[in-house]
Amino acid sequence: MTLEPLTAFAIAGGALALFLGGFSKGALGLGLPLIAVPIIALFMPVPQALAMLTVPIFVTNAWQSVQGGNLGVVWRRFWPMGLALMAGIGAGTQVLVRLEQSTLYIVMGTVVLIQPAVRLLRPGYSIGEGRQRWMGPTIGVLSGVLGGISGFYAAPLLVYLTMLRLPKDIFTATIALLFFLGGFALAVFLAHAAVLTQEVLVLSVAALVPTVAGIGVGIRIRRRISQAQFERGITFVMLMMGASLIVKGIS
- Enumerate residues 6+ apart whose C-beta is below 8 A from 159: 118, 123
Per-residue pLDDT reduced to its tens digit, 4-56:
667 888 889 999 999 999 998 888 777 788 788 888 888 887 777 877 888 89
Query: Looking at the predicted structure, is the pLDDT value of residue 97 above 70?
Result: no
Task: Please determine, for residue 98, whether its predicted confidence score (pLDDT) is greater than 70.
Answer: yes
Domain boundaries, the chain: 8-250
Contacts of 199 (CB under 8 A, 6+ apart): 3
**What confidence score (pLDDT) does residue 148 get?**
80
pLDDT for res 166: 80
Could you tell me which residue, 88 or 37, shows the higher pLDDT? Answer: 88
Q: Which residues lie below 8 Å from residue 116, measured CB to CB, with a gap of 6+?
A: 235, 236, 238, 239, 242
pLDDT at 227: 65
pLDDT at 1 over 60: no
- What pLDDT, on a 0 to 100 scale, did the predictor assign at position 138? 94
Residues 110, 102: Cα–Cα separation, whole Å = 13
For residue range 174-228, what is the model confidence (pLDDT) as tens digits? 988 998 998 888 888 877 777 777 888 888 899 999 999 999 998 888 778 776 7
Look at residues 155, 125, 136, 122 and name the one whose alpha carbon lies nearest to residue 33: 155
What integer pLDDT is reported at residue 126 of this predicted model?
Answer: 66
* Per-residue pLDDT tens over the stretch 105-158: 787 778 778 767 776 766 566 677 778 888 999 999 988 888 787 767 777 787
Q: What is the pLDDT of residue 3?
A: 57
**Cβ proximity of 214 and 60 under 8 Å:** no
Count the alpha carbons within 13 Å of 17 in the hemisphere toward its beta carbon. Answer: 26
**pLDDT grade, residue 70 (50/70/90)?**
confident
Q: Give the 3-state DSSP-derived string for the chain, with helices as H, strands as E and coil as C.
A: CCCCCCCHHHHHHHHHHHHHHHHHHHHHCCCHHHHHHHHHCCCCCHHHHHHHCHHHHHHHHHHHHCHHHCHHHHHHHHHHHHHHHHHHHHHHHHHHCCCCHHHHHHHHHHHHHHHHHHHHHCCCCCCCHHHHHHHHHHHHHHHHHHHHHHCCCHHHHHHHHHHCCCCHHHHHHHHHHHHHHHHHHHHHHHHHCCCCCHHHHHHHHHCHHHHHHHHHHHHHHHCCCCHHHHHHHHHHHHHHHHHHHHHHHHC
In this predicted structure, what is the pLDDT of residue 123?
A: 58
